[in-house]
Amino acid sequence: MTVSTAPDARGDLFDPACPTRQILDRLSGKWSSMVIKILAEEPAGEVRFADLRRRVPGMSAKMAAQTLKELERDGVVLRRVEALTPPRVHYSLTPLGVSLDAALAHLREWAELHAHAVDRARTAYDRSHDNGGTNP
């Protein structure tokens, strides 16, 4: 059986088979974290495809479909189909997805808390690097 090709990759972030690597790679897509946030924030818990697109400005149908498919494959998102014409498809977070959102929330919190500090660091860095005193 194909139980696991990764014997004990736990903690070995540098092995491509490492779980953390995989998660980070999945989240590194441009839209994944936004989709998760939308689904997490939805009071009803479910969002339809077109709604999702409306709520994530700039995300093409292609990227929406691709992102949702990946997240569904990972067990983070649930896809529910109502077979009407026209069809209705509803997306929501699974319990696993909810817990992932909680982990992501720490990062969001960090970012909001330290956004100013990062901004200041960048300004300072740019000031001393792109024209550090040797410019006309």
Partner DNA sequence: CAGTATCCATAAAGATACTG
Partner DNA sequence: CAGTATCTTTATGGATACTG
Query: Does residue 76 contact residue 97 with C-beta atoms inside 8 Å?
Result: yes
Q: Is 104 helix (H, G, I), strand (E, B) or coil?
A: helix
Given the rule CB under 8 A, which of 45-53, 60-68, 80-88, 123-131 is the region that contacts a copy of itself?
Answer: 123-131
Question: With contact defined as beta carbons under 8 Å apart, do 77 and 96 qualify?
Answer: no
Asked if the peptide bond before residue 86 counts as cis, ω within 30 degrees of 0, the response is: yes
Scanning residues 73 to 112, which ones bind DNA (CB under 7 A)?
Answer: 79, 86-89
79 three-state secondary structure:
strand
Instruction: Report DSSP state, residue 40.
Output: H
Q: Which is nearer to a copy of itself, 10 or 88 (CB)?
A: 10
User: Is the Cβ of residue 75 or residue 99 nearer to DNA in the bound state?
Assistant: 75
Q: Which amino acid is at 39?
A: L
Instruction: Please list every residue from 51 through 90 that binds a copy of itself, using CB under 8 A.
Output: 55-58, 72-76
Residue ranges in contact with a copy of itself by CB under 8 A = 2-4, 10-11, 13-14, 19-20, 22-24, 27-30, 33-34, 37, 55-58, 72-76, 96, 99-100, 102-104, 106-112, 114-115, 117-126
